[in-house]
Structure 1
Amino acid sequence: MGVPAGAVASISVFIVKKASFLSRRPASSARTRDSLAPRQSRSKSLASVAQTWRMSYARRPDRSPKPLDKAALERLALRYVERYATTRARLRQYLARKLRERGWEGADAPEIDSLAERMAELRYVDDRAFAENKAASMGRKGLGIRRVEQALRHAGVEAQDVEAATAADENDAAESAIRFAKRRRIGPFSQEASAPETIRKHVAAMMRAGHSPSLAWQVVRLKPGEEHGFVSGQQSRNKTSPIDWEL
Protein backbone atom coordinates (compact mmCIF):
# COMPACT_ATOMS: atom_id res chain seq x y z
CA MET A 1 0.00 0.00 0.00
CA GLY A 2 1.57 3.23 -1.15
CA VAL A 3 1.77 6.56 0.75
CA PRO A 4 -0.45 9.28 -0.68
CA ALA A 5 1.33 12.03 -2.54
CA GLY A 6 -0.28 14.74 -0.34
CA ALA A 7 1.10 13.20 2.82
CA VAL A 8 4.56 13.02 1.35
CA ALA A 9 4.40 16.70 0.48
CA SER A 10 3.22 17.64 4.02
CA ILE A 11 6.02 15.62 5.62
CA SER A 12 8.56 17.24 3.32
CA VAL A 13 7.40 20.76 4.25
CA PHE A 14 7.52 19.89 7.98
CA ILE A 15 11.05 18.53 7.69
CA VAL A 16 12.23 21.64 5.84
CA LYS A 17 10.70 23.99 8.42
CA LYS A 18 12.18 22.01 11.31
CA ALA A 19 15.63 22.04 9.73
CA SER A 20 15.35 25.79 9.12
CA PHE A 21 14.32 26.40 12.75
CA LEU A 22 17.19 24.31 14.11
CA SER A 23 19.68 26.05 11.84
CA ARG A 24 18.61 29.49 13.10
CA ARG A 25 19.05 28.79 16.82
CA PRO A 26 22.87 28.72 16.98
CA ALA A 27 23.04 31.88 14.88
CA SER A 28 20.67 33.65 17.25
CA SER A 29 22.74 32.61 20.25
CA ALA A 30 25.87 33.79 18.51
CA ARG A 31 24.29 37.14 17.83
CA THR A 32 23.29 37.36 21.46
CA ARG A 33 26.85 36.70 22.54
CA ASP A 34 28.11 39.19 20.01
CA SER A 35 25.69 41.85 21.27
CA LEU A 36 26.98 41.37 24.80
CA ALA A 37 30.59 41.70 23.77
CA PRO A 38 30.50 45.48 23.06
CA ARG A 39 29.03 46.16 26.52
CA GLN A 40 31.87 44.31 28.15
CA SER A 41 34.41 46.11 26.01
CA ARG A 42 32.76 49.44 26.76
CA SER A 43 32.87 48.82 30.50
CA LYS A 44 36.48 47.79 30.25
CA SER A 45 37.30 50.87 28.21
CA LEU A 46 35.66 53.16 30.78
CA ALA A 47 37.64 51.52 33.55
CA SER A 48 40.84 51.88 31.60
CA VAL A 49 40.10 55.54 30.90
CA ALA A 50 39.45 56.22 34.58
CA GLN A 51 42.62 54.41 35.55
CA THR A 52 44.63 56.34 32.98
CA TRP A 53 43.18 59.62 34.23
CA ARG A 54 44.08 58.80 37.83
CA MET A 55 47.61 57.90 36.83
CA SER A 56 48.06 61.07 34.79
CA TYR A 57 46.62 63.19 37.60
CA ALA A 58 48.99 61.57 40.08
CA ARG A 59 51.92 62.38 37.80
CA ARG A 60 50.77 65.99 37.26
CA PRO A 61 53.32 68.46 38.54
CA ASP A 62 52.46 70.98 41.24
CA ARG A 63 51.01 74.05 39.51
CA SER A 64 50.69 76.31 42.55
CA PRO A 65 51.98 79.83 41.78
CA LYS A 66 55.53 80.65 42.67
CA PRO A 67 56.24 82.95 45.61
CA LEU A 68 56.55 86.60 44.74
CA ASP A 69 59.72 88.61 44.47
CA LYS A 70 60.25 92.31 43.84
CA ALA A 71 59.83 92.10 40.05
CA ALA A 72 56.71 89.92 40.28
CA LEU A 73 55.17 92.27 42.84
CA GLU A 74 55.73 95.24 40.54
CA ARG A 75 54.16 93.36 37.63
CA LEU A 76 51.07 92.64 39.73
CA ALA A 77 50.81 96.30 40.70
CA LEU A 78 51.10 97.47 37.10
CA ARG A 79 48.53 94.96 35.91
CA TYR A 80 46.11 96.02 38.64
CA VAL A 81 46.33 99.78 38.00
CA GLU A 82 46.08 99.10 34.27
CA ARG A 83 42.74 97.32 34.68
CA TYR A 84 41.09 99.32 37.47
CA ALA A 85 40.63 102.93 38.50
CA THR A 86 41.79 102.62 42.07
CA THR A 87 43.38 104.32 45.06
CA ARG A 88 46.64 103.82 46.87
CA ALA A 89 44.85 102.14 49.77
CA ARG A 90 43.11 99.62 47.51
CA LEU A 91 46.36 98.90 45.70
CA ARG A 92 48.08 98.22 49.01
CA GLN A 93 45.24 95.91 50.06
CA TYR A 94 45.45 94.01 46.77
CA LEU A 95 49.21 93.50 46.99
CA ALA A 96 48.99 92.43 50.64
CA ARG A 97 46.39 89.82 49.72
CA LYS A 98 48.59 88.47 46.93
CA LEU A 99 51.49 88.20 49.36
CA ARG A 100 49.34 86.18 51.77
CA GLU A 101 48.26 83.86 48.96
CA ARG A 102 51.61 83.27 47.29
CA GLY A 103 54.26 84.09 49.86
CA TRP A 104 57.48 86.04 49.48
CA GLU A 105 60.95 84.93 48.43
CA GLY A 106 62.64 88.29 47.96
CA ALA A 107 65.89 89.12 49.69
CA ASP A 108 64.35 92.10 51.49
CA ALA A 109 60.91 92.63 52.98
CA PRO A 110 58.22 93.61 50.45
CA GLU A 111 57.81 97.36 50.18
CA ILE A 112 54.11 97.68 49.46
CA ASP A 113 53.74 101.24 50.69
CA SER A 114 56.65 102.57 48.65
CA LEU A 115 55.39 100.73 45.56
CA ALA A 116 51.93 102.31 45.95
CA GLU A 117 53.48 105.74 46.39
CA ARG A 118 55.60 105.26 43.27
CA MET A 119 52.50 104.36 41.29
CA ALA A 120 50.93 107.59 42.53
CA GLU A 121 54.00 109.61 41.54
CA LEU A 122 53.80 108.14 38.05
CA ARG A 123 50.08 109.12 37.99
CA TYR A 124 49.03 105.52 37.50
CA VAL A 125 47.03 106.02 40.71
CA ASP A 126 45.29 109.32 41.45
CA ASP A 127 43.21 109.44 44.60
CA ARG A 128 41.85 112.92 43.85
CA ALA A 129 40.69 111.98 40.34
CA PHE A 130 39.19 108.75 41.67
CA ALA A 131 37.28 110.66 44.35
CA GLU A 132 35.96 113.27 41.92
CA ASN A 133 34.79 110.66 39.41
CA LYS A 134 33.18 108.55 42.13
CA ALA A 135 31.40 111.57 43.58
CA ALA A 136 30.09 112.63 40.18
CA SER A 137 28.88 109.12 39.40
CA MET A 138 27.04 108.77 42.70
CA GLY A 139 25.55 112.25 42.30
CA ARG A 140 24.11 111.27 38.93
CA LYS A 141 22.42 108.34 40.68
CA GLY A 142 20.76 110.71 43.12
CA LEU A 143 22.92 109.96 46.17
CA GLY A 144 23.79 112.69 48.63
CA ILE A 145 27.06 113.97 50.03
CA ARG A 146 27.05 111.79 53.15
CA ARG A 147 26.78 108.60 51.09
CA VAL A 148 29.55 109.83 48.81
CA GLU A 149 31.80 110.54 51.78
CA GLN A 150 31.17 107.07 53.20
CA ALA A 151 32.03 105.41 49.88
CA LEU A 152 35.23 107.42 49.48
CA ARG A 153 36.40 106.69 53.01
CA HIS A 154 35.69 103.01 52.43
CA ALA A 155 37.87 103.17 49.31
CA GLY A 156 40.73 104.56 51.39
CA VAL A 157 40.66 108.10 50.03
CA GLU A 158 42.36 110.55 52.38
CA ALA A 159 40.38 113.27 54.14
CA GLN A 160 41.60 116.20 52.05
CA ASP A 161 40.71 114.44 48.82
CA VAL A 162 37.29 113.52 50.18
CA GLU A 163 36.64 117.13 51.14
CA ALA A 164 37.74 118.40 47.73
CA ALA A 165 35.57 115.88 45.87
CA THR A 166 32.44 116.60 47.93
CA ALA A 167 32.80 120.40 47.97
CA ALA A 168 29.82 120.74 45.63
CA ASP A 169 27.73 123.88 45.56
CA GLU A 170 24.12 124.01 46.71
CA ASN A 171 22.74 123.48 43.23
CA ASP A 172 24.63 120.19 42.81
CA ALA A 173 23.26 118.86 46.10
CA ALA A 174 19.74 119.92 45.16
CA GLU A 175 19.99 118.33 41.71
CA SER A 176 21.07 115.02 43.25
CA ALA A 177 18.11 115.16 45.64
CA ILE A 178 15.72 115.85 42.76
CA ARG A 179 17.16 112.90 40.82
CA PHE A 180 16.61 110.61 43.77
CA ALA A 181 13.04 111.87 44.23
CA LYS A 182 12.34 111.28 40.54
CA ARG A 183 13.66 107.71 40.70
CA ARG A 184 11.60 106.92 43.79
CA ARG A 185 8.50 108.95 42.77
CA ILE A 186 8.73 111.19 45.81
CA GLY A 187 7.39 114.71 46.33
CA PRO A 188 6.67 116.47 43.02
CA PHE A 189 7.06 113.18 41.13
CA SER A 190 4.48 111.22 43.15
CA GLN A 191 1.14 110.32 41.62
CA GLU A 192 -0.92 111.72 44.48
CA ALA A 193 -0.51 113.62 47.73
CA SER A 194 1.09 111.46 50.40
CA ALA A 195 -0.17 110.85 53.90
CA PRO A 196 1.90 112.23 56.81
CA GLU A 197 3.30 108.78 57.65
CA THR A 198 4.31 108.23 54.01
CA ILE A 199 5.98 111.63 53.95
CA ARG A 200 8.09 110.71 56.96
CA LYS A 201 9.11 107.45 55.26
CA HIS A 202 10.12 109.36 52.13
CA VAL A 203 12.22 111.76 54.19
CA ALA A 204 13.91 108.83 55.93
CA ALA A 205 14.65 107.24 52.54
CA MET A 206 16.25 110.44 51.26
CA MET A 207 18.35 110.75 54.40
CA ARG A 208 19.55 107.16 54.01
CA ALA A 209 20.55 108.13 50.48
CA GLY A 210 22.86 110.76 51.97
CA HIS A 211 20.77 113.93 51.70
CA SER A 212 20.50 116.44 54.54
CA PRO A 213 17.26 116.61 56.54
CA SER A 214 16.49 120.14 55.39
CA LEU A 215 16.93 119.26 51.73
CA ALA A 216 14.91 116.07 52.10
CA TRP A 217 11.99 117.93 53.64
CA GLN A 218 12.09 120.62 50.95
CA VAL A 219 11.70 117.97 48.25
CA VAL A 220 9.23 115.68 49.99
CA ARG A 221 6.81 118.47 50.95
CA LEU A 222 6.37 119.53 47.32
CA LYS A 223 2.99 118.63 45.87
CA PRO A 224 2.69 116.33 42.84
CA GLY A 225 3.64 118.26 39.73
CA GLU A 226 4.79 121.32 41.65
CA GLU A 227 7.77 123.30 40.32
CA HIS A 228 11.00 122.26 42.03
CA GLY A 229 13.56 124.59 40.48
CA PHE A 230 13.77 126.69 43.64
CA VAL A 231 14.90 123.79 45.87
CA SER A 232 18.16 124.67 47.61
CA GLY A 233 20.79 122.48 49.17
CA GLN A 234 21.61 125.05 51.81
CA GLN A 235 21.70 123.67 55.35
CA SER A 236 19.28 126.25 56.72
CA ARG A 237 17.92 124.22 59.61
CA ASN A 238 19.78 122.24 62.24
CA LYS A 239 17.14 119.65 63.06
CA THR A 240 18.28 116.15 62.18
CA SER A 241 15.21 114.03 62.79
CA PRO A 242 12.35 114.03 60.26
CA ILE A 243 9.89 113.64 63.11
CA ASP A 244 10.87 117.10 64.40
CA TRP A 245 9.70 118.80 61.22
CA GLU A 246 6.20 120.10 60.75
CA LEU A 247 4.14 118.45 58.05
Structure 2
Amino acid sequence: MANRHAPSDRSRKSLGAARLDELALAYVARFATSKAKLARYLTRKIRESEWVGESDPFAVAEAVTLRMEGLGYLNDRQYAAMRGAAMTRRGLGVGRVKAQLWVDGIAPEDSGEAVETAQGAATGAAIGFARRRRFGPFAVRVIDDPAQRERQVAAFARAGHSLALARRILAIAPGDDEALAALDDDGMFD
Protein backbone atom coordinates (compact mmCIF):
# COMPACT_ATOMS: atom_id res chain seq x y z
CA MET A 1 0.00 0.00 0.00
CA ALA A 2 1.38 3.38 -0.99
CA ASN A 3 2.07 6.01 1.62
CA ARG A 4 -0.57 8.73 1.31
CA HIS A 5 1.81 11.40 2.56
CA ALA A 6 4.69 10.56 0.22
CA PRO A 7 5.30 12.96 -2.65
CA SER A 8 3.51 11.98 -5.82
CA ASP A 9 5.40 10.74 -8.86
CA ARG A 10 3.05 12.72 -11.07
CA SER A 11 4.05 16.19 -12.09
CA ARG A 12 2.01 19.06 -10.79
CA LYS A 13 -1.02 20.00 -12.84
CA SER A 14 -0.90 23.26 -14.68
CA LEU A 15 -3.27 26.01 -13.63
CA GLY A 16 -4.16 29.19 -15.45
CA ALA A 17 -6.53 32.10 -14.94
CA ALA A 18 -9.42 30.42 -16.77
CA ARG A 19 -9.08 27.20 -14.77
CA LEU A 20 -8.83 29.19 -11.53
CA ASP A 21 -12.09 30.93 -12.41
CA GLU A 22 -13.73 27.55 -13.05
CA LEU A 23 -12.50 26.24 -9.69
CA ALA A 24 -13.89 29.29 -7.91
CA LEU A 25 -17.25 28.96 -9.62
CA ALA A 26 -17.47 25.26 -8.75
CA TYR A 27 -16.52 26.00 -5.14
CA VAL A 28 -19.15 28.71 -4.60
CA ALA A 29 -21.75 26.54 -6.34
CA ARG A 30 -21.07 23.68 -3.94
CA PHE A 31 -20.42 25.45 -0.62
CA ALA A 32 -21.79 28.44 1.25
CA THR A 33 -18.60 30.37 1.81
CA SER A 34 -17.05 33.69 2.67
CA LYS A 35 -14.67 35.83 0.66
CA ALA A 36 -11.73 34.86 2.84
CA LYS A 37 -12.47 31.13 2.62
CA LEU A 38 -12.68 31.31 -1.17
CA ALA A 39 -9.41 33.24 -1.30
CA ARG A 40 -7.71 30.61 0.91
CA TYR A 41 -9.04 27.84 -1.33
CA LEU A 42 -7.76 29.51 -4.48
CA THR A 43 -4.38 30.23 -2.88
CA ARG A 44 -4.06 26.57 -1.91
CA LYS A 45 -4.89 25.48 -5.44
CA ILE A 46 -2.23 27.85 -6.81
CA ARG A 47 0.39 26.45 -4.44
CA GLU A 48 -0.52 22.86 -5.33
CA SER A 49 -0.26 23.52 -9.07
CA GLU A 50 2.15 24.90 -11.60
CA TRP A 51 1.01 28.36 -12.70
CA VAL A 52 0.69 28.91 -16.43
CA GLY A 53 0.52 32.54 -17.45
CA GLU A 54 2.39 35.77 -17.20
CA SER A 55 0.23 37.51 -14.60
CA ASP A 56 0.71 37.17 -10.86
CA PRO A 57 -1.37 34.15 -9.74
CA PHE A 58 -2.29 35.67 -6.38
CA ALA A 59 -3.50 38.86 -8.04
CA VAL A 60 -5.63 36.71 -10.35
CA ALA A 61 -7.04 34.85 -7.32
CA GLU A 62 -7.94 38.16 -5.68
CA ALA A 63 -9.59 39.38 -8.89
CA VAL A 64 -11.58 36.15 -9.19
CA THR A 65 -12.73 36.48 -5.58
CA LEU A 66 -13.85 40.05 -6.17
CA ARG A 67 -15.63 38.99 -9.36
CA MET A 68 -17.52 36.24 -7.49
CA GLU A 69 -18.55 38.81 -4.89
CA GLY A 70 -19.63 41.24 -7.61
CA LEU A 71 -21.77 38.56 -9.23
CA GLY A 72 -23.51 38.00 -5.90
CA TYR A 73 -22.12 34.53 -5.25
CA LEU A 74 -20.39 35.73 -2.09
CA ASN A 75 -21.98 37.82 0.62
CA ASP A 76 -20.15 37.86 3.94
CA ARG A 77 -23.04 39.45 5.82
CA GLN A 78 -25.50 36.73 4.71
CA TYR A 79 -22.91 34.03 5.32
CA ALA A 80 -22.35 35.31 8.87
CA ALA A 81 -26.10 35.37 9.57
CA MET A 82 -26.54 31.84 8.23
CA ARG A 83 -23.51 30.46 10.06
CA GLY A 84 -24.39 32.18 13.35
CA ALA A 85 -28.00 30.98 13.26
CA ALA A 86 -26.92 27.41 12.53
CA MET A 87 -24.46 27.43 15.41
CA THR A 88 -27.04 28.89 17.79
CA ARG A 89 -29.55 26.21 16.80
CA ARG A 90 -26.90 23.60 17.63
CA GLY A 91 -26.67 25.05 21.13
CA LEU A 92 -23.40 26.95 20.76
CA GLY A 93 -22.92 30.27 22.49
CA VAL A 94 -21.89 33.75 21.46
CA GLY A 95 -18.20 33.11 22.11
CA ARG A 96 -18.10 30.19 19.67
CA VAL A 97 -20.09 32.13 17.07
CA LYS A 98 -17.66 35.07 17.26
CA ALA A 99 -14.65 32.77 17.09
CA GLN A 100 -15.96 30.84 14.08
CA LEU A 101 -16.85 33.98 12.16
CA TRP A 102 -13.34 35.31 12.82
CA VAL A 103 -11.83 32.04 11.56
CA ASP A 104 -14.04 32.27 8.47
CA GLY A 105 -12.58 35.73 7.77
CA ILE A 106 -15.75 37.72 8.35
CA ALA A 107 -15.08 41.39 9.12
CA PRO A 108 -16.60 42.80 12.34
CA GLU A 109 -18.91 45.10 10.38
CA ASP A 110 -20.32 42.07 8.53
CA SER A 111 -20.62 39.84 11.60
CA GLY A 112 -22.26 42.37 13.94
CA GLU A 113 -25.84 41.43 13.16
CA ALA A 114 -25.14 37.70 13.47
CA VAL A 115 -23.45 38.21 16.84
CA GLU A 116 -26.36 40.33 18.10
CA THR A 117 -28.80 37.61 17.05
CA ALA A 118 -26.69 35.00 18.88
CA GLN A 119 -26.63 37.21 21.98
CA GLY A 120 -30.42 37.48 21.89
CA ALA A 121 -30.77 33.71 21.68
CA ALA A 122 -27.99 32.90 24.18
CA THR A 123 -30.23 31.60 26.96
CA GLY A 124 -32.22 29.40 24.60
CA ALA A 125 -29.02 28.07 23.03
CA ALA A 126 -27.56 27.28 26.46
CA ILE A 127 -30.74 25.48 27.49
CA GLY A 128 -30.64 23.53 24.22
CA PHE A 129 -27.00 22.64 24.90
CA ALA A 130 -27.91 21.43 28.41
CA ARG A 131 -30.79 19.38 26.98
CA ARG A 132 -28.55 17.67 24.41
CA ARG A 133 -25.82 16.95 26.94
CA ARG A 134 -28.32 16.01 29.69
CA PHE A 135 -26.93 18.60 32.11
CA GLY A 136 -28.70 20.37 34.98
CA PRO A 137 -32.49 20.18 34.68
CA PHE A 138 -32.21 17.50 31.98
CA ALA A 139 -29.96 15.15 33.96
CA VAL A 140 -31.16 11.76 35.13
CA ARG A 141 -30.07 12.49 38.70
CA VAL A 142 -28.64 15.37 40.73
CA ILE A 143 -24.88 15.79 40.36
CA ASP A 144 -23.32 16.18 43.82
CA ASP A 145 -19.68 15.80 42.81
CA PRO A 146 -18.06 19.27 42.52
CA ALA A 147 -15.47 17.99 40.03
CA GLN A 148 -18.23 16.65 37.77
CA ARG A 149 -20.09 19.96 38.07
CA GLU A 150 -16.94 21.90 37.04
CA ARG A 151 -16.46 19.59 34.04
CA GLN A 152 -19.99 20.47 32.99
CA VAL A 153 -19.28 24.19 33.44
CA ALA A 154 -16.15 23.72 31.32
CA ALA A 155 -18.24 22.06 28.60
CA PHE A 156 -20.52 25.11 28.59
CA ALA A 157 -17.48 27.39 28.33
CA ARG A 158 -16.04 25.40 25.41
CA ALA A 159 -19.41 25.73 23.70
CA GLY A 160 -19.11 29.52 24.03
CA HIS A 161 -21.57 30.16 26.86
CA SER A 162 -20.96 32.49 29.79
CA LEU A 163 -19.93 30.89 33.06
CA ALA A 164 -22.68 32.67 35.00
CA LEU A 165 -25.37 31.31 32.69
CA ALA A 166 -23.84 27.82 32.83
CA ARG A 167 -23.80 27.81 36.61
CA ARG A 168 -27.37 29.11 36.75
CA ILE A 169 -28.61 26.33 34.45
CA LEU A 170 -26.64 23.67 36.31
CA ALA A 171 -28.13 24.84 39.62
CA ILE A 172 -31.61 23.83 38.46
CA ALA A 173 -32.54 20.40 39.77
CA PRO A 174 -33.53 17.68 37.30
CA GLY A 175 -37.21 17.91 36.45
CA ASP A 176 -37.71 21.43 37.88
CA ASP A 177 -39.72 22.78 34.94
CA GLU A 178 -40.81 25.94 36.77
CA ALA A 179 -37.25 27.10 37.44
CA LEU A 180 -36.30 26.27 33.86
CA ALA A 181 -39.25 28.27 32.52
CA ALA A 182 -38.33 31.20 34.78
CA LEU A 183 -34.75 31.08 33.48
CA ASP A 184 -35.93 30.99 29.88
CA ASP A 185 -38.32 33.92 30.50
CA ASP A 186 -35.63 35.89 32.31
CA GLY A 187 -33.08 35.54 29.50
CA MET A 188 -31.03 38.53 30.62
CA PHE A 189 -27.78 36.96 31.73
CA ASP A 190 -25.62 37.56 28.70
TM-score, normalised relative to structure 1: 0.65
Q: Aligned residue for 2:6?
A: none
- For structure 2, the 5+ residue unaligned runs are 1-8
Q: Aligned residue for 2:128?
A: 179
Pick one of 30, 35, 48 that aligns with 1:83: 30
Q: CA deviation at 1:233?
A: 4.2
3-state SS of paired residue (1:229): helix
Give the AA of the match of 1:225. G
Give the AA of the match of 1:172. A
Give the AA of the match of 1:70. A
The alignment status of 1:73 with 2:7, answered yes or no, reads no
Q: Aligned residue for 1:158?
A: 107
Give the AA of the match of 1:141. R
Q: Give deviations 1:130-159, integer Å, cap 9, x for gaps.
A: 111111111111111101111111111112
Q: Give deviations 1:202-239, integer Å, cap 9, x for gaps.
A: 22211111101121111111111112122244347xxx
Q: After the TM superposition, which residues 83-232 of structure 1 pair with which residues of structure 2 at under 5 Å, given as runs?
A: 83-110=30-57, 111-168=60-117, 172-197=121-146, 198-227=148-177, 228-231=180-183, 232=186
Higher relative contact order (CA 8 A, sep 6+): 2
Q: After the TM superposition, which residues 41-52 of structure 1 pair with which residues of structure 2 at under 5 Å, given as runs?
A: none
Give the AA of the match of 1:103. E
TM-score, normalised relative to structure 2: 0.83
Q: CA deviation at 1:170?
A: 5.5
Q: Give deviations 1:85-125, integer Å, cap 9, x for gaps.
A: 11111111111111112121212212222221221121111
Q: Give deviations 1:48-86, integer Å, cap 9, x for gaps.
A: xxxxxxxxxxxxxx9756422221211111111111111
Q: CA RMSD in A?
A: 2.0
Give the AA of the match of 1:74. D
Aligned residues: 175
Could you list the runs of 4 or more consecutive aligned residues of structure 1 that deviate by over 3 angstroms after TM superposition? 62-66
CA distance in 1, matches of 2:20, 2:130: 46
Q: Contact 1:170–1:234 at 8 Å: present in 2 too? A: no
CA distance in 2, matches of 1:233, 1:103: 55
